[in-house]
Structure 1
């Protein structure tokens, strides 16, 4: 079962996801840093992490 349950979730986990992105300090091979995700949820989470990483590089303030 998908553990992210974001909008568009298919509820069937077909991919592995790092809870804390490896580049953000999460353990790549840490079993406790993993969760199941469906493809749509994994894609959404990855896109959001990418946006956040670019925002930090550019030092653009996060909209509130």
Structure 2
């Protein structure tokens, strides 16, 4: 039983990592298409908000920061 729980936990961690990578890619692509941080937030359902996205994903050379 413990092995099954461990496998489930590992699967959940891997799924979370894949989801985070997909969100990061989507944010990069949206910024490349000149989307605002608030528009990206809205496309993601409002969470995280635009300011949080900007803090977490803005590159130093991004002029919109």
Shorter-chain TM-score bucket reads 0.3 to 0.5
TM-score by length of 2: 0.38
